Structures are given as structure tokens and as C-alpha cells.
């Protein structure tokens, strides 16, 4: 699997939503290997999109389409400055429910000093985590160079996500959280998407 993380700032989130809807209607049918996209704008104007394809080759073919180039040329005018792109083939998807029905999405970006151990901890006791946090419908974990990562979390709603954050985890899960925190380099950045656009092939 291949993922591309696109980030920028925008002062026109509604127009950006409209542009994504145009892509879904006009370009998605010809996007071979496209698996889905999650995007949104935070309340302070940070726009972020995570787009997944079956392979890097499929993503490249989509980027090379003339209609894709035209769409991007128009859409990029909605950004306040240049967009940044982070590509990765280190992608893991975990689904407990239907992420397409998520009412709230949180994207976390940070860096780990031991990405392999961090992944082991994320995969550990998944059944216990599912029982403890039923508000989480699924996740996408993306690894970048130098231990950097992007994690997409899909929640039933923001209210249930905040309630879940306040719950006291059982000791074994608390220990995993503490070890994960020790692996973190610096402070992670959070993108709270209260109006997420989650689109998948029909």
C-alpha cells in the first residue's frame, strides 16, 4: 500500500471541500488503485489530506493524468502558500468498525526513537484496546523517514472521543501508553478534524 500526506494552510475550507467533491465526482472513477482519502481543515486553518493507493505506481499514474494536473493546479490556489507532500509505502490499516462513518478524525504527527518497538506496542493487545475504546472505528499508521510518523484515528464522534480520553486504562494498557510516550521525540502535532471528508471508492 502507498500513502501520500498533503499539508498546507487555507483560509477557505469550504472551497477546498467543494474541490474535493469535484475530484470525487469527476476524477475518482479513473483513479486506478485509489483506496480512499481522508481530509479536513482544523479550526486554525491547517489543511491535511491522507490519500491511499494500492501501490506507488498507481499513485504516479494518477498524478500524471492531465485532468489530475488541471484539478491540482486549480485546487492549490486555495492554499495560503505551498503545500508539502510526504510519501510512504510503510502503511498499516486497522479497522474495528466502519471508518467511513466517523464523525470526528484526529491525525497525529510526531517522531519516535524506536519505530519498530512503537509498532509492536500498537499491535499489542488490540482486542483489549478495542474493548476499552469502542469509540475508535479504525486507524491508519504511516511511517516516514527518520522515525517520523502520521497516524489517522477515526472516532464515532468528538464527544465520545473526548470521553474516551478521560477514561482510566487498565494497568497493562497504561504500561503500554507510558512506554509509547517514552519513545516519543519532542511533542506530537494534533490535527482535529471536526468536519472530516472521508471518501472511498464506490
The DSSP annotation for 97-145 comes to S-GGG-SEEEEEEEEBS-HHHHHHHHHTTHHHHHHH-TTEEEEEEEE-G
Of residues 150, 2, 11, the one with CA closest to residue 90: 2
pLDDT at position 122 is: 82
pLDDT at position 120 is: 86
Q: CA geometry: angle at 80 spanning 191 and 70, to 5°?
A: 100
pTM of the full structure: 0.92
* Cα separation, 112 vs 3, whole angstroms: 19
pLDDT at position 125 is: 80
Instruction: Label the pairing between strands 91-95 and 104-111.
Output: unpaired
Residue 176: strand, helix, or coil: helix
For 81, phi and psi rounded to 5 degrees?
A: 105, -170
Give me the torsion for CA of 148, 152, 157, 158, rounded to 10°: 20
Q: What is the pLDDT along the chain (202 residues), one digit of tens a residue?
A: 999 999 999 999 999 999 999 999 999 999 999 999 999 999 999 999 999 999 999 999 999 999 999 999 999 999 999 999 999 999 999 998 899 999 999 999 999 999 889 888 888 888 888 889 999 999 999 999 999 999 999 999 999 999 999 999 999 899 999 998 999 898 999 999 999 999 999 7
pLDDT at position 105 is: 98
Amino acid at each position: 500500500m502507498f500513502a501520500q500526506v498533503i499539508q498546507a494552510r487555507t483560509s477557505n475550507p469550504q472551497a477546498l471541500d467543494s474541490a474535493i467533491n469535484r475530484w470525487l465526482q469527476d476524477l475518482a472513477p479513473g483513479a486506478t488503485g485509489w483506496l480512499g482519502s481522508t481530509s479536513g481543515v482544523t479550526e486554525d486553518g491547517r489543511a491535511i489530506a491522507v490519500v491511499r493507493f494500492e501501490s506507488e505506481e498507481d499513485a504516479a499514474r494518477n498524478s500524471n493524468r492531465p485532468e489530475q494536473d488541471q484539478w491540482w493546479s486549480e485546487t492549490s490556489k486555495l492554499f495560503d502558500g505551498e503545500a508539502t507532500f510526504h510519501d510512504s509505502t510503510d502503511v498499516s490499516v486497522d479497522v474495528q468498525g466502519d471508518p467511513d462513518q466517523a464523525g470526528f478524525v484526529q491525525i497525529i504527527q510526531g517522531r519516535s526513537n524506536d519505530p519498530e518497538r512503537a509498532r509492536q506496542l500498537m499491535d499489542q493487545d488490540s482486542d483489549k484496546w478495542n474493548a476499552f475504546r469502542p469509540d475508535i472505528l479504525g486507524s491508519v499508521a504511516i511511517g516516514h523517514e527518520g522515525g517520523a510518523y502520521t497516524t489517522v484515528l477515526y472516532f464515532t464522534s468528538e464527544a465520545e472521543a473526548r470521553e474516551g480520553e478521560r477514561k482510566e486504562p487498565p494497568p497493562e494498557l497504561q504500561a503500554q501508553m507510558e512506554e509509547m510516550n517514552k519513545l516519543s521525540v519532542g511533542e506530537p502535532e494534533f490535527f482535529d478534524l471536526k468536519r472530516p471528508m472521508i471518501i472511498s471508492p464506490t
